[in-house]
Structure 1
Amino acid sequence: MRRFLLRLVFVLTLPVVLLAVWWAASDSSTDVYWPPLRTILKTFPDVWTADRLRTDALPSILRLSAGYATAAVAGVALGTVIGSYRRVRAVCEPVLEFLRAVPPPVLVPVIMLFAGIGHTMKILVIAIGCVWPILLNTVEGVRAVDSVMAETARSYGVKGFARLRHVVLPSASPQIFAGLRQALSIGIILMVISEMFAASNGLGFTVVQFQRGFAIPDMWTGILVLGLLGFLLSVVFQLVERRVLGWYHGLRATTRRSR
């Protein structure tokens, strides 16, 4: 319990300090574009009612989930194949590096031509942007599978799907989760960008509408909602990561203690 409380204090200290600095710095502000934090917090419950969360926040979360899940499945599957076969990797790497260098927001107008302006376009934008860190980290993780472990599995006749499940993916999973973590932050950014183009709901759409209507405190509340969403998703991701990679974190802790 004590350890949990100490960890909670460490997690909350910096946000509390930043909020206090923001409050003090903006307390006497008369700039219409930089309202006091107390005004923003007072406006927050009036703007983000249960109905608005249902009509704007929920669609954004669903699009993010669909795009992120698509990118995760495609990135891990393709990365495993590319990382497992040297010839496939030699053929694909130049193309992958080229495509990775193209900023996903630039593709929004192109995707709109093929997918329209509905949910499909927004999900595709998120998926295309998120897939690269997952794919490339999976490739590197699969390539870095311990040679002794691979030879041992081969000696015992562990092949095919059994080798993939019990040797390759567990060994590459720390690297895969590193890619998944990077993709999560990219996905939130692309979720907002995609909703700024021909959208009728969503967090990105709502923030832009507030800005165009000069409802500046309302706009700042939307930014706070996006920050809270990113924080909550990060916490959920850490919980899942610690559960899935419990063996890995335990091994690292044992190694540190032995030193």
Structure 2
Amino acid sequence: MVRRTALPLVLRWAVLLVAVACWEVAARARDSVYFPPPLRIARHAHALWFSGNAGHLFLTPAAVDTILPSLGRMVSGFVLAAVAGIVLGIAVGRSPRVYALCNPVLQFARAVPPPALVPVFVVVFDFGTPMQVASIVFSAVWPVLVNSAEGARATDPLRLQVVAVLRLTAPERLWFLILPSALPRIFAGLRLSLSLCLILMVFSELLPGSDNGIGFTLTDAQTRSDLLTVWAALVLLGALGHLLNTGLLAIEKRLVGPTASAGRTA
């Protein structure tokens, strides 16, 4: 059992290490300022963001001004989108008539490219954190809402008949039957929403009026031709996306079970 569990993990890390090694060799062979090797990028990122003292979790003042504001906007937008999407999705999915009426609007809203909505929120909220969070919430809510509605609609009719015979109350039906039945689809929507939140967080910070965050750091480094910082920010975004997705997968396996989670991942 230990070998079956450890072997895939070792293989995944081996593939990553091989890819990084190939990148290192290719970058050093080309010796281009536009294509720095990963070790140089890692040293620059460490000096820029993670060389602080232990009392501040090794975060430098630059990291506090760059990483924490972006994470705050992203987490706020994701939590609001998740709560609104699950509540509205379950409500829509449990009523066939409401679902039939709302489905065209939902499909239209989810098809709108998220960056196209940012100018609308600039007009409504002006530049700043409220506009950034609102754009994240509005764009990330649709995958959760649609998948929650589909999950609620897919509840086994036989089980609904059983809970009707048992005369469970509406909150009991929701908690013990509908939510557990819809959880696999809900987490599928949450994973899509998490990716959108990361994209919209960076995009909103690229706009004029932003003065902190990873997106602002990217723009500022580009204007100063600081290519090492540009690459470090890109690697940081990839690492954050991987860590957040891994954490969400761990929660999903805890609540849903490894078998269902593995099937959806496949």
Same fold, TM exceeding 0.5? Answer: yes
State the distance in 2 between where 1:252 and 1:177 align. 9
Q: Are the aligned partners of 2:48 and 2:63 in contact in 1 as well (CA < 8 Å)?
A: no
Q: CA deviation at 1:206?
A: 0.5
1:187-216 alpha-carbon deviations (Å, 9 max, x no partner) = 111111011112100011101111111000
| Aligned length, in residue pairs | 251
Quick one: which of 204, 214, 220 aligns to 1:209? 220
Match of 2:34 in 1: 33
Quick one: which of 29, 52, 56 aligns to 2:62? 52
Q: What TM-score does the superposition give when structure 1 sets the normalisation length?
A: 0.91
Instruction: Confirm or deny that 1:164 pairs with 2:160.
Output: no
Structure 1 pair 251–112 and aligned structure 2 pair: CA distance change class (3 A): closer
Unaligned stretches of 5+ residues in structure 1: 254-259
2:112 aligned partner, one-letter code? V
Match of 2:85 in 1: 75
1:36-71 alpha-carbon deviations (Å, 9 max, x no partner) = 333323322222242222111011111111000010
Residue correspondence of structure 1 range 210-249 to structure 2 within 5 A: 210-246=221-257, 249=258
Quick one: which of 201, 204, 217 aligns to 1:194? 204
State the distance in 1 between where 2:102 and 2:118 align. 24
1:212-250 alpha-carbon deviations (Å, 9 max, x no partner) = 11000111011111111111111211111111113xx36
Residue correspondence of structure 1 range 72-151 to structure 2 within 5 A: 72-151=82-161
Q: Are the aligned partners of 1:138 and 1:172 in contact in 2 as well (CA < 8 Å)?
A: yes
2:168 aligned partner, one-letter code? V
Identity, % of aligned positions: 39
State the distance in 2 between where 1:58 and 1:64 align. 10
Give the superposed CA RMSD. 1.8
* SS of equivalent to 1:177: helix
State the distance in 1 between where 2:252 and 2:155 align. 20
Unaligned stretches of 5+ residues in structure 2: 51-58
Q: What TM-score does the superposition give when structure 2 sets the normalisation length?
A: 0.89
* SS of equivalent to 2:163: helix
1:145 aligned partner, one-letter code? T
Q: Are the aligned partners of 2:252 and 2:261 in contact in 1 as well (CA < 8 Å)?
A: no
State the distance in 2 between where 1:250 and 1:137 align. 19
State the distance in 2 between where 1:87 and 1:214 align. 56
State the distance in 1 between where 2:82 and 2:260 align. 26
State the distance in 2 between where 1:89 and 1:199 align. 39
State the distance in 2 between where 1:233 and 1:140 align. 25
State the distance in 1 between where 2:141 and 2:40 align. 39
1:138-193 alpha-carbon deviations (Å, 9 max, x no partner) = 11101110111111111111231111111111001111111111111111111110
Q: CA deviation at 1:93?
A: 0.9
Q: Are the aligned partners of 1:27 and 1:38 in contact in 2 as well (CA < 8 Å)?
A: no
State the distance in 1 between where 2:261 and 2:223 align. 51
Compare 124-133 and 35-44 and name the one that shifted more: 35-44
Q: Are the aligned partners of 1:27 and 1:37 in contact in 2 as well (CA < 8 Å)?
A: no
Q: CA deviation at 1:4?
A: 4.6
